[in-house]
Structures are given as C-alpha cells and as structure tokens.
Chain A
C-alpha cells in the first residue's frame, strides 16, 4: 500500500466515518434521554436521502407522505386520549386533504438545498411522531420491549421505502461537483462538505446543550428522569425532542451521503449498525465519544475493505460483539453498585 493509497483510504474513511458519527450522535441522544436503542436509526437516513432525491428529481416524496400519515395518527391518538370523539373527523379530513394535495401536485423539481431542507424537516417530524405513537405509550417498559419495537419500526420503514421508491438506486446532485487535488491525493468537494457539515452540527449541538435552557433540560432528563420530573421537565416531551433531533440529524447524514454513494431503500440498516458500533466504541453516553467512535469505524472499514474486500462488512459488524463485551467488562471492573 502506497502513502497515496493510504491517504485516499483515510479521507474516504473519515468521510464515511462522519456519517456514522452523525448516526452515532442520534443513537446516543435517543438512548440517553429515553433508554431506547433505536434499531431503526438508519431508516431515517434512508428516508432523508430518498425524500431529497424524490423532491429534486420528480420522484415520490415518501418522507412527506409518511409525515402526513404519522401526523394524522398522532393527532388522532391525542384526541382519543382526551376522549374528544367529536373532533375525530378533523385530523382525518386534514390528513386526507394533505394526502390528496401531495398526489395532485405536479412532480417536484426543487433545487438540491431546499429539497434537502424539506426532507430533513419531514423526517424530523416523522421521528417525533413515531416516538409519540410507539415508544411513549410503553414508556415504563423494559429496554427489551423498546428494542423489539424499534426492530418492528426498522422493518416497517424499510418496507415503506421499497413501496415508495422501489428497488432502484438513486443519486443526489452534490452542491458543488468536482475534486480538490492535493499532490496525488484527490478529495471530492462533497467529502469536504460532509466533514465541514459534521463539524458545524457538532458546534450547534454543543451550543444547544450548553447554552439553551431546553438543551440543559434535555441533559437533565438524560441524567436523572425522576429528578428532572421534580423540577418540571416532562420526560415525554424530552423524549419527543430527542427523537425529532435525532431523526433530523440522521436525515442530514442521508442528504450528505447520497451524492457519494447511491441511495437505496435498504441502505439504512448497515449505516445504523455502524453508527451504533461507533457510539459504543465511544462509550454510548458521551457525544464527543460517539463522533470519535464513528470516525474510527469509518477509517477501519475503509482499510478492512481494501484488505479483504468481500468480508470488510462482516468484520465491521462482527466488531459489535467484542466492543460490547469490553464495555460491559469495564463497567463490572469499575464496580457500580447493583
């Protein structure tokens, strides 16, 4: 392997790693606030990427359809929860109206940036709605129940992705095509954009958690649910926001990765698992840890794929087991009171 190849692999790995880092951030955020391990995290990436593709190329805007469906269900659950039977027609009619509108509008051909923004907003909304519909009703249930629920969400969302977009793979135009040449290393502008965007998001998240009241409330809810409740922070609201931000982050990752790799309905699971490996490498609790872990996974994957192309994926997934074991053993050694 020459230095040039190594550098190329490194840049490639860091770019993918930044995507895993965004996913890892979302996984950690949801885990910290709600104790849910979200198997469906990667599906938000898929929805974000393919919705942006759909909005810019005149294909299905599945994320919007899903947002309408989920929003209708959310409104219905809210009304039925308060026993306001008389108003049930309102969300039904509203949902049907929006559904009709989506179908009746001519195919979308938005420029990349607005398409990406709309897609991210829609996916963030879907994330919040899914929390309200599937996680909040069993808030007290054990971690295993949560895991099975998100497994169901994974399967359902992937099926919907196939329904909306079919088995094809799609590309999304990058904001600025072309490459930067530094010596004999070639770096695409999109790679630079991915890394810069990840840095920007990290900065924004830091500001949110450190400088805003709601960010601090979210951290409080993550540290101590009962205590947060006592000072007036609603855990279900915190969970809702965590899911929305997390789904939004993943959708951003999807929009960023789509120009580099093709977007397909089944891209979610492998991305989600790698994000999870990164998050666990980083300790599954801290945000900087999740980012570093994600980058590490990306780089490792790039070099593993160069060495043993067919089994590169298997090696990265297989890493989950030793990484989890090390983590559990570390906790046991530290000796936390049972």
Chain B
C-alpha cells in the first residue's frame, strides 16, 4: 500500500468510518435482540478491564495473574459502600475505583521489584489471597453467599436496570479506556513504558524512572479493573467471591492475550471470549451436567493455542486497521547540513576541570575482579578511547560509569559532582548518555526510538499522556529526533528499529543517545557492523561532535577508527590500566603490544 498516494484521501475516509462506527456502537443494543444487550454490556465491561491489562501485559511486559482481585475490590468497594453505608451509588463507583488503585499501589510497591515469571507468580499469589479474603470477610462482603443489597443506579429519575440502558454506561467506560490507552502509548510516558519492556537497562539509561513507571502502569490497570468491577456489580446486582477468583484472572488474561498489544486489543479480546462463552453455552448445553465446565477447558486450550500460534495475539491484524504511527510531521528539517541549534547541551568550554572523572574505580563479581583501580579524566571537546582485548573489563567499566551496576570501589564524578552509586536514570539526567555493545533498540519505530532519547529534556507523565496533552513537547521531541537521525544519516523513520541491519541499528543508537543532548557521551563499539564508508561518516560525526564541545568516551575494536579520532587512549587488560597516553605513544608501548599480540611479539 502506498501511504503517500492515499495520504490525502485516508483522513477523510477514516473520519467517515469512525463516525459510522460511533453510530453503530450507539444503535447496537436496539438493533440486536434484547438478549445480546447483555453480552454487549459484558463485552464493554471486560473490555475496559482488559484494556488496563493490555497496558500492563502487552505494553509494559508485566504479566498479572491477579487482576480479578482489583476487579473484585472495585466491585465490593462500590456496592458495599452504597448498600451498607448509604454512599451515593455514582460516587461509590469512583470510590471503588480509587480503592482498587490504592490496593494496586500497596501491592505493587513490593512486588514490582520482581520481574518476568516471578512477578506473574507473585500476582497470582496476591489474587488467591484476595479471593480468600473476599470469602472470609463475611461480615462486610457477605462471604461465600455473596452480597445482595445492591442499590439501583439512576440519573434524573432514569434507572439503569435494563441492559439496553446500562449498555451506555459500560460503553462510556470502554471508550474512555481505549481512547486514553491509545493516547498514552503514543505519548512520552507511553514510549517509556514500551521502551522498558524491551530493555529496562536501555530505558533507564535514557532517563526513564523504570520503577516509578511500572508502579504507575500497575495502578492505572488496577484503577480500570476497579471501575469495571464497580460497573459489573451494579449491572448484575449481586456479587459473590467466585466471580473474582483465579479463574476470573485467567479469563481476563486470556482476553488480553487474544487482543495483543494494541489499544483495541482488550475490547476485541473481551468480545471474542464473551461470544465464545455464549456459543459454548448454546452449542454444548450443560455438558456433563456442569454449567461452565466446557468453557473452563476451552479457556485453557485457547490460552495455550494463542501462545503457540500467535504470541502477539491479534495485534498484527489490529495494527493494520489502526496503525497508531507517529509521523515525523511538517517542519522537520531533513537536511544533513549545519544543525539549527547545537545537538548537545555540551557547552564549548574546553580545558578546565574534567567533565567526567573516574577515580580508582573497581568492580568485583564474586572472585573475578572485572575492573580494578581504573582512573581517568575526560574533558569537554575531547575523545578518549578505551581499548583492550576482549574481557578486559571495558563494558563493565561502561556499565559502572553509567550507573547500571554499582561499583565495589572508587568514585565517578560528573562535572565535579559525585554520582557514584546513583541510578542510571539520575546519571542520564545529569547529562551522560550511552549506546550499548549489543544494540538495545526498543521495539518501536526508528523515529520513536530516537524520540525516547529526548526523554530527559521533555516533560509529560502518565496523566499528560492519558489526556493526550503535551503537544508542544511532542513536536519538539519529533524535531529533535528527526534532526539527530539526519546527523547520523538514517532516514528510515518509520521502519521497525529492530528490523534494520546491525550497522544501521548502531547509528540509530548513536542518534538516540544524541537526542538526550548529552554533555558526556559513552559509545560502546559504535563501528562494529558498519561498512567502510559508514565508518568514515561515523569518524566525521565524532569529530564534529567533539568540535561542539562534547566529551566522548569511546570503546572500539576498530583500531584505525580509534587511532584517527581519539585524542588520548586508556588501555585496559584484565581489569587493570595497562597504559595511558596519546595514540602514537600507546601504539609503541611494549606492554600494549604484548597484551594484544602475545609475548613473543614484544
């Protein structure tokens, strides 16, 4: 499909389609037989809840097997407040959602320190514990027999009892959930969420506060679950613990897995599961006398099948219908020539105090001293080459300096301030940016990758993202990203970054690092995988960055490149500093020659 050709028509078509879709959604309960209005309500409620789970599982990569607990807290919270304590029903819905959000905060605070399957197990345990509490706190919840004093929701004398009317409440919920997720994933905070899914280390090195962002995503998903739970409780006017057990959590996860990482995924997944419920109930009525039995087996089977056939769910399909791409936008300078303003916040003060200073840095892994008493200073407008044979400790030194690993000894100073032991996101904020030896590009477009690099000097958190605000910062980030990409000579803005050849990926990483306007730039083997011509361009780029006053620390195995661009070299071997000096001097150092070529060569 040629996007440029259809570009003029597409927006109008899209608008028309959206209008028709909205009309259809509004008219739906009156077009279908009354029974289906029930299914529509359930689809919208589950859809909204699953949309939160999509944010959590699909985008942030945090699997929750305890989502039904938050759903249950919202449901019980709302109807118990309204039924037993006389709170206004509409207010109780909001309070229920708030209680869920608060629970998510309290639960998330400890368990989000876990990741991967440990996190999933911890959420599962939380879900099981919550289900036990729903049953055991019988004086409040009515215990295993359920809670029945559910008041009726009414507005200006109109009672929301019949599913045709209630549908509009659930529709508002689902549409708000989908719209805010769609806005969020394209925003600065949304990009950060998606970034940390691919690589927490790289995201943190771009200034993303990974822990905080995870907690925000968890609370948001919890709040959506609570809101959905409250609506559910008012809709069916009776709740019992069995609606919020592990089976319910798995059902929600199944919906999210079927939908995949797309704002519409939750609603689509909910529709599939709800319809399937209905089909199974009708086609195989009461198999073996056990209602709901076949569904349970089917969910299990479907969950396994989705993982085997398409672990991304329906996301590829949905993305074709609604691409959600970030365009470079008008007014983007694409000329490679002189930049409009300086790329780096570097400041051109050469000489003077070192911008990055490393003193007696050490890092030990068990019995292995990976870095031992490493010391050097790096000034603005200087390129320092860090070289040494494989396993010399160069990458470990990088990780310690950029804050990914705490050092076991020594200090790191940035502009004279001690940053030893600070987290990577704080060091990034102080003006240090880096690339990775095994490229760590995020699973998004090239442009979005580099826009993530602008994280430290743009604003806009989760709220801004949810409400679709923060336009000026976005425009600024887009411009900056386009300019940095132009500087490194990559123009495939919309390509999936991880699908590029390795050489291009390295250049995109350099652009991403530059987009943060660093004062100190750490490059880990930027030339590996580059063709000869590209290496020459890289050398030219490094020189021009140096002219602008940037301080560059370069780890590189390509000796031609290092010798031509570096002002000074530090040679490492087995963690220790073997030699230090200008390239010519180091090249003739017998110790260095011995380390590289073996004993005899010396």
Contact = CB atoms under 8 A, between A and B. Distances in A.
A163 B290 contact: yes
Given A138-B307, A156-B297, A311-B136, A321 B110 contact: yes
Interface stretch (B126-134, B480-488, B533-541): B126-134
A328 B114 contact: yes
Interface residues of chain A: helix, strand, loop or mixed (majority): helix
A155 B308 contact: no
Interface string B45-78: 0000000000000000101010000000000000
Nearest to B111: A321
Counting chain B residues whose Cβ lies within 8 A of the other chain, the interface size class is 35 or more
B322 interface: no
A133 B371 CA distance: 46
Interface stretch (A88-96, A100-108, A141-149, A285-293): A141-149
B132 A144 contact: no
Contact of B122 (A137, A141, A320): A320
B307 A152 contact: yes
Nearest to B122: A321
A153 B132 CA distance: 23
B399 A338 contact: yes
Interface residues of chain B: helix, strand, loop or mixed (majority): helix
Interface stretch (B216-224, B245-253, B573-581): B245-253
Interface string A162-175: 11001100000000
Counting chain A residues whose Cβ lies within 8 A of the other chain, the interface size class is 35 or more
Interface stretch (A187-195, A241-249, A256-264, A329-337): A329-337
Which of A159, A311, A314 is packed against the most chain B CB atoms within 10 Å?
A159
B405 interface: yes
A157 B65 CA distance: 18
B311 A152 contact: no
Contacts of A313: 132
Interface in A290-338: 310-311, 313-314, 317-318, 320-322, 324-325, 327-329, 334-338
A144 B122 contact: no
Interface in B386-425: 396, 399, 404-405, 408
A37 B121 contact: yes
A236 interface: no
Given A144-B117, A276-B121, A320-B125, A159 B110 contact: no
Interface stretch (B15-23, B81-89, B96-104, B362-370): B362-370
Contacts of B63: 144, 147-148
Interface in A26-70: 37, 39
B296 interface: yes
Interface in B268-307: 287-290, 293-294, 296-297, 299-304, 307
B300 A153 contact: yes
B201 A156 contact: no
Nearest to A276: B121
Contacts of B290: 162-163, 166-167
Contacts of A324: 111, 114, 118, 121-122
B440 to A, nearest CB: 11
A238 B67 CA distance: 35
Contact of B117 (A146, A322, A337): A146
Contact of B308 (A138, A166, A269): A138
A178 to B, nearest CB: 35
A160 B307 contact: no
A163 B304 contact: no
Which of B125, B128, B370, B408 is packed against the most chain A CB atoms within 10 Å?
B125
Given A148-B307, A311-B136, A163 B293 contact: yes
B95 interface: no
Which of B116, B121, B296, B364 is packed against the most chain A CB atoms within 10 Å?
B121
Nearest to A156: B300
Contact of B311 (A141, A151, A320, A334): A141
A201 B249 CA distance: 36
B293 A162 contact: yes
B113 interface: yes
Contact of A317 (B128, B304, B308, B399): B128
Which of A162, A273, A320 is packed against the most chain B CB atoms within 10 Å?
A320
Contacts of A335: 364-366, 405, 408
B293 A138 contact: no
A224 interface: no
Contacts of B405: 335, 338
A273 B307 contact: no
Contact of B120 (A144, A328, A329): A144
Contact of B125 (A157, A160, A273): A273
A210 B533 CA distance: 57
Which of B129, B311, B399 is packed against the most chain A CB atoms within 10 Å?
B129
Interface string B416-444: 00000000000000000000000000000
A308 to B, nearest CB: 10
A134 B304 CA distance: 7
B296 A159 contact: yes
B133 A159 contact: no
A328 B300 CA distance: 30
Which of B110, B246, B396 is packed against the most chain A CB atoms within 10 Å?
B246
B569 interface: no
Given A138-B307, A145-B311, A155-B299, A311 B132 contact: yes
B93 interface: no
Given A166-B289, A166-B290, 11 more contacts: A142-B116, A143-B117, A152-B301, A154-B300, A156-B300, A159-B297, A167-B290, A273-B128, A314-B128, A321-B126, A337-B365
18 contacts: A138-B307, A144-B63, A149-B303, A151-B250, A152-B250, A155-B300, A156-B299, A156-B304, A158-B296, A159-B296, A276-B121, A310-B136, A318-B125, A320-B121, A320-B125, A325-B111, A334-B366, A335-B405
Closest 9 CB pairs of A and B: A156-B300, A152-B303, A155-B300, A159-B297, A159-B296, A320-B125, A152-B304, A147-B117, A314-B132
